[in-house]
């Protein structure tokens, strides 16, 4: 059955269908992480932010927070949180002793495959739209609200993204249609109730009618890092270090030392300024200055992750701030007031400063070869 993710009618319909059909299994358009997000709305209170930073999951967390903010806004406008009907399907099934199968692909895999599908220009364009949309809170008319209640808003949003960024449609819609269909076909029992967004129905029906099967292992595989980016990641440090060595051989240790000092200052100062603009802890600003010249010479870790970890150590988010993050993320002041969002600011601004310093410092060192 297809549902509108923001609709009280869909919530009631899901409950009625499961109670009437008494299926052997209920399949739901969720993965374990999204199910946890819906069923445990206060999960951020126990968030291990240091572990998130260690595993380089800040970008995923940021996406989830923006989505939570968007959902909270729509929930306040419509009186029902997005995805409530999916949660109701799970609760109704569990109350009646019916097995529940979370059939959607891991959200982390979907996001990484989506990001990998974009060109550099499209990535910059998407990030610009993404960041700009954080602060937009359009006023919804009664007609808008009525339309939202009658359609699958999240699927519609993904379709619009697919139109603007064609590479995303394959990952966000087509691949997930195939994944959901295959998982439902593999569900245990003969009588199955599957609850998915209405936007997935057409693609799933087509796959069933045509008898297509999908390789779940292939669809769940994380794309490899592009060989081009590997060459760039290690090539820039190699060029800079090689240039410093050649300057030392040709012009002497003094000239090499001067260029090395320029590299340290060119990287350290912009990174420290970025941390300062984010109103980071003094220790974080110092770590930005010290880390940037080193991390810019390796693609393994960036200055942003170092400073985010230091900021988390000295200024960990308060429980009250974790509760308020979905609201604070939509205001400019909230990014500086909320400690969790300030950690993101530290990460972003330090990273930008380090990137700027790498290009300025690298250009100066290479030019001094000639």
pLDDT of the residue at 133: 62
- 244 and 196 in one domain? no
- Residues 80, 116, single domain; the answer is yes
- pLDDT tens for residues 208-256? 888 888 999 999 998 776 667 677 778 888 999 999 999 998 898 999 9
Angle in degrees, CA 219, 175, 165, rounded to 5: 120
Rounded distance between C-alpha atoms, residue 228 and residue 159, angstroms: 30
- pLDDT of 267 > 90? The answer is yes
Q: Give residue 139's pLDDT.
A: 59
Mean pLDDT of 269-296: 95
Domain boundary among 177, 198, 219: 219
pLDDT of res. 275? 96
Residues 29 and 127 both lie in one domain = yes
Amino acid 69: pLDDT: 64
pLDDT attached to residue 66:
67
Residues 273, 182 share a domain: no
Phi, psi at 360, each rounded to 5°? -65, -50
Question: pLDDT by residue (tens digit) across 147-168?
Answer: 555 555 555 666 666 677 777 8
Do residue 203 and residue 287 come from a single domain? no
**Three-state SS at 2:** strand
Where would I find the beta strands (DSSP E) of the chain?
Answer: 2-3, 25-28, 100-102, 192-197
The range of the structural domain enclosing residue 126 comes to 2-219
Does residue 53 surpass a pLDDT of 90?
no
C-alpha 270 chain-centroid distance: 26
Question: Are 195 and 159 in the same domain?
Answer: yes
Residue 182 has pLDDT above 90, yes or no: yes
Q: Is the pLDDT of residue 43 over 70?
A: no
Domain endpoint, select from 192, 219, 246: 219
Together in a domain, 64 and 204: yes
pLDDT above 70 for 271: yes
How do the residues of the chain divide into helix, strand and coil, expressed in percent and rounded to 5?
Answer: 70, 5, 25
DSSP helix/strand/coil, 26 = strand
| pLDDT number for residue 198 | 80
Mean of the per-residue pLDDT values of the chain: 82
């Amino acid at each position: 059955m297809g549902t509108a993710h923001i609709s009280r009618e869909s919530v009631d319909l899901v409950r009625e269908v499961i109670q009437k059909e008494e299926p052997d299994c209920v399949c739901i358009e969720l993965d374990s992480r999204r199910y946890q997000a819906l069923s445990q709305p206060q999960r951020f209170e126990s968030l291990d932010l240091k572990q998130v930073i260690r595993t380089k999951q800040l970008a995923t967390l940021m996406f989830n927070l923006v989505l939570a903010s968007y959902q909270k806004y729509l929930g306040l406008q419509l009186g029902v949180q997005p995805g409530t009907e999916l949660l109701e399907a799970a609760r109704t099934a569990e109350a009646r002793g019916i097995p529940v199968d979370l059939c959607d692909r891991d959200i982390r895999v979907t996001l990484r495959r989506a990001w990998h599908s974009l060109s550099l220009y499209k990535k910059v364009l998407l990030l610009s739209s993404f960041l700009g949309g954080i602060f937009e809170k359009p006023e919804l008319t009664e007609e808008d609200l009525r339309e939202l209640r009658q359609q699958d808003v999240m699927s519609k949003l993904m379709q619009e993204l697919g139109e603007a960024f064609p590479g995303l449609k394959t990952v966000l819609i087509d691949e997930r249609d195939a994944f959901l269909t295959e998982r439902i076909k593999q569900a245990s029992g003969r009588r199955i109730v599957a609850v998915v967004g209405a936007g997935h129905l057409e693609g799933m029906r087509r796959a069933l009618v045509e008898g297509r099967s999908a390789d779940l292992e292939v669809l769940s595989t994380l794309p490899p890092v592009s060989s081009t980016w590997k060459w760039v990641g290690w090539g820039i440090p190699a060029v800079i270090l090689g240039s410093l060595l050649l300057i030392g051989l040709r012009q002497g240790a003094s000239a090499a030392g001067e260029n090395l000092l320029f590299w340290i200052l060119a990287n350290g100062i912009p990174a420290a300024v970025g941390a300062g603009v984010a109103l980071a802890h003094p220790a974080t600003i110092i770590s930005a200055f010290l880390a940037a010249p080193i991390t810019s010479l390796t693609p393994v870790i960036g200055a942003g992750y170092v400073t985010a970890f230091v900021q988390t150590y000295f200024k960990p988010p308060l429980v009250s701030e974790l509760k308020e993050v979905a609201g604070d993320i939509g205001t400019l002041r909230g990014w500086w007031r909320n400690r969790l969002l300030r950690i993101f600011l530290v990460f972003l601004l330090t990273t930008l400063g380090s990137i700027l310093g790498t290009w300025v410092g690298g250009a100066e060192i290479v030019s001094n070869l000639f």
